[in-house]
Amino acid sequence: MSEQDRWPELTGIGDGLPPPPGREIVREALRRSALTGGRAPSVPRIVRAWELLVMEARVQPVSIWLVSALVMAAGIALMLARPYTAGPVLALLAPLVAGAGIAAAYGPRDDGVAELVAVTPTSPRVILLARMTLVFGYDLLLGLAASVLPSLSPFGPVPAGPFALVMVWLGPTAVISALSLLLSVCWRAEAAAGGALVAWGLYAFSFTGSLTGSFTGWSSWWPRATGPGTIGLALALTLAAVAVAGLGEPFRRPRATNRS
């Protein structure tokens, strides 16, 4: 005797059941999924991150890559011809290229995909980090290449090894890039480029000061080399930019809603 046989109260529980809905209910569920943010992709996070980077790379202006490469190529040419200039050239060029690149990557008024990005489920912070990773990573690669190539110069020895050269530009590049990013997020690309240029100018003056004996005030506090101070400052600025990126409407864009 089955359990149901011992429960006469439930006799007929399986009778009169309506047939289940047809397969259209699956389509409706999939449509809801698409409209409400889609499903979590089953691919590993690292693959998702890579896919996001690839997609972001596609929507970045070609000029970012081209101009950065050309400027750095000019610097490399100079360093190959005059290897003893490798340190100052890299210390000045790398922050400039990275700062300008970051400003252009996040915040131009004519960002054609901004509206599209705004309605995707991917958060603005993730987009920001992806773009910064792309542009800063690209500039890092250029800087690394430029730090290695001078040692191949036939015109003489380089005053420092590749690692020492990297230490010359990495910290300032990170600080100026992060400052540019913050200004770009808070304000607009033009302001970020201007701010980065001003910061770079002060930085360049600090070199002048150390060379001429003046402006020692600048050089005493300005983060001229890679160290805990410069990296910490860059991280703080970047975190601030990431935090601001997820807050409301950017200052740089016309407001989508009327103020009450």
Partner 1 sequence: MLARVADGDAEALGELYERHAGPLFGFLYRLAGDRGTAEEILQDTLLAVWRSATTYQGRSSVSTWLFGVARRQAHNRLRGLPPPSAAEPYERADDVPGPEELAVGAGRVQDALVRLPLAQREVVVLAFLCDLGHREISEILGIPPGTVKSRLHHARATLRGVLR
Which residues sit at the interface with partner 1, rule CB under 8 A? Answer: 3-4, 7-21, 23, 25-26, 28-30, 32-33, 39-42
Q: Which of 29/73 has CB closer to partner 1? A: 29
Which residue, 33 or 122, has its beta carbon nearer to partner 1?
33
- Residue 44 or 248 with smaller CB distance to partner 1: 44
- DSSP for residue 160: S
Least separation in angstroms between residue 51's CB and partner 1 is 13
Terminus-to-terminus CA distance in the chain, angstroms?
Answer: 73
Residues 6+ apart with CB under 8 A from 198: none
Least Cβ distance, residue 14 to partner 1 (angstroms): 6
Is 46 or 256 the residue whose CB approaches partner 1 more closely? 46
Cα–Cα dist 38/22, whole Å: 22
Chain centre to alpha carbon of residue 93:
19
The Cα 172–Cα 96 span in angstroms is: 9
CB of 33 to partner 1, least distance (A): 6
The least CB distance from residue 122 to partner 1, in Å, is: 17
Which CB sits closer to partner 1, 19 or 154? 19
User: Is residue 194 within 8 Å of residue 250, measured between CB atoms?
Assistant: no
Q: What are the Cα distances from residue 10, in Å, to 18, 19, 180, 229? A: 18, 20, 72, 75
CB of 34 vs partner 1, minimal distance in Å: 10
